[in-house]
Every structure is written in C-alpha cells, then in structure tokens.
Amino acid sequence: MSWLNRVRNALPFVARKETPDHLWHKCKGCGQMIFNKEWEENLHVCPQCDHHGRIGPKERFQQLFDDGSVEILPNPKVAEDPLKFRDSKRYVDRLKAARTDTGEQDAFQNAYGTIAGRGCVIGVQNFAFMGGSMGQFVGEAFIAGVEAAIARGVPYIVFTASGGARMQEGILSLMQMPRTTVAIEMLHDAGLPYLVVLTDPTSGGVMAAYAMLGDVQIAEPKATLAFTGRRVIESTIREKLPDDFQTSEYYRDHGLIDRVTHRRDLPAELAQLIEFLGRKEAA
C-alpha cells in the first residue's frame, strides 16, 4: 500500500454535506449561480448579466397585475388529439407529461386584472408547455381572450413565447394563424388596443401571425425573435448575418418593433400605453 493510500485510510470519515438543488439557479446567460430567492425577487432576471429568464403565466400575472385584482379566465375546450397523432410517443401522452410538468392545461392562459388601476386582459404563452407551440387550444384561448377584452371594454395584451405551430395537429394548427388575425380585427372594430410583448423565444407560425400584429410592439431585452432559423436564411441568401441578428435590439434598430423594455419597467409602460390609447380611442 502506498503512503498516500495509508494516509487516506487513516483519516476519519467525514460525511459529505449535500446542498439542496432548489436553493440555486444557474443563469443561462452568464452561467453564474444565483440564490433562487434572489432570482425570484429580481423577477427571474440575472443580477449579474441582466439575462431575462423564461417565465410562465403564474409568474407573469403576479408581476404585472395589481395585488388582488387577478381573475383567471376559463380555458376553452377543444379536441385534444384530432389526428390521433403518434411519433416516438403518442400525442396524448405528450400532453399528459406537459400538464404534469407545468401544472397548466396547455400553452396559453388568459387573465383579467388591473395594472396601476387600469383594466386589461392579458394572455400569456408558456414556452415550458411543449415549447409554447400553437395548436387549436392556443388559437381558441387567444380568441377567448379577445372576446373577454371586448366584453369588458379593455385592451388585450399578449406575451408571446413559442417555437411555432404544433406539428402534432397538422393543418389544424396552421389554421390558427388566420383565425387569430380575424380576432385582432374584431378587437380593432370594437375600438380597443392590441398590445404585444415579445419574449424569448418567439418564432415560426406565431411570429408570422399575432406576434407581429400589435398596435404597439414591445420586446424584452436580448430575446430571440425569428420566423425561421439563422442557417436557413444564410443558405438561402448566401450571406453571413450579423451576430445580433434575430434579437430584440436588432428588430428595434431596424424599425420592426417599437420598444425594448426591461421586465421591471413593463407594468409602468403598459399602464401608460393603456391610458394613452384608451384616451385616443375615446376621443
């Protein structure tokens, strides 16, 4: 036995102290470890690099609405597996797994409430639910949000986060693009504003539909915004794209969106827009 092994064996056993996994969050922007409590108190934004983490409807409503004003609106009922789709897993099994993981019915949730005392309906797309993919449920939930806003005479605000249309529903998912566009026209006919906040990531069929049809287009910092992938575009146009291509800042600088707003400033900015656009419509 070597000297090193003799010394190692002679040392008293010291139990290793395990750190609970739920205490820390690793930032996907800079890789720094952050206390979960600090992460949540900072609105799921990294205090080191300002990376905006992905959040779902529950956190979004809590951050935006006035305390005690939130009313979760009922979810629509749709056929869950109209095509009886199966790839490596059955579609119904994927839905069950996503519901267990997120606690949500599907990838879109509406709620009514007030922001700084001003009423609005907010729809939030949840990327954690099958990549926020747009299927029949998302389309029906969007339309239900528009109808709720019209019934209450308030603006409709949508937070997008999606990888695009849901492949398991085929053409039925793509049909949600024109259906949501018609719903936005219904909102305009009622004289009510439609505001969009683009979050990371928003792409595909959602980007080609209601995500880019807002009266005012806002985005969170450094969000990835794209219709199709970078490599597809580069191979098509045979040119090298800028490093910041398909980011919130690139879209703003090239006139495709109006604002890039930090998460902490969103409630005040949305309240101001609701007041301004509401006055304009009333006039």
The CA-atom distances, in angstroms, between 60 and each of 22, 31, 192 are: 21, 24, 22
Q: CA-CA distance, 262 to 245, in Å (whole number)?
A: 19
Q: CA-CA distance, 54 to 82, in Å (whole number)?
A: 30
User: For the segment 166-184, what is each residue's pLDDT rounded down to a tens digit?
Assistant: 999 999 999 999 999 999 9
What count of residues does the chain have? 283
User: For the segment 219-262, what is each residue's pLDDT rounded down to a tens digit?
Assistant: 999 999 999 989 999 999 999 999 999 999 999 999 999 999 99
E strands in 183-227 = 194-203, 216-219, 225-226
Q: Report the pLDDT averaged over residues 118-143.
A: 98
Q: Which of 132-136, 157-161, 182-186, 233-237 has the lowest mean pLDDT?
A: 233-237
Q: Is the torsion defined by CA of 188, 105, 95, 204 positive or negative?
A: positive
| pLDDT at 282 (0 to 100) | 47
| pLDDT at 63 (0 to 100) | 97
Q: Find, among 113, 102, 112, 99, the residue nearest to 73 by Cα.
A: 112
Asked if 52 and 221 touch (Cβ cutoff 8 Å), the reply is yes
For the chain, what percentages of helix, strand and coil (3-state, to nearest 5) are there? 40, 20, 35
Q: Is 38 left (phi over 0), alpha (psi -120 to 50) or beta?
A: alpha
Radius of gyration of the chain (CA): 22
pLDDT(102) > 90 = yes
What are 114's two structure tokens? 């007030």
Q: Which residues pair with 217 in a beta bridge?
A: 196
What are 85's two structure tokens? 């789709």
Q: CA-CA distance, 51 to 222, in Å (whole number)?
A: 8
Neighbours of 63 (CB within 10 A): 14
pLDDT(281) > 90 = no
| pLDDT at 215 (0 to 100) | 97
Q: CA-CA distance, 253 to 273, in Å (whole number)?
A: 21
The values of phi and psi at residue 90, to 5°, are -70, 145
E strands in 46-136 = 71-72, 108-115, 118-125
Asked if 125 and 132 touch (Cβ cutoff 8 Å), the reply is yes
The CA-atom distances, in angstroms, between 115 and each of 13, 86, 93, 193 are: 58, 43, 38, 15
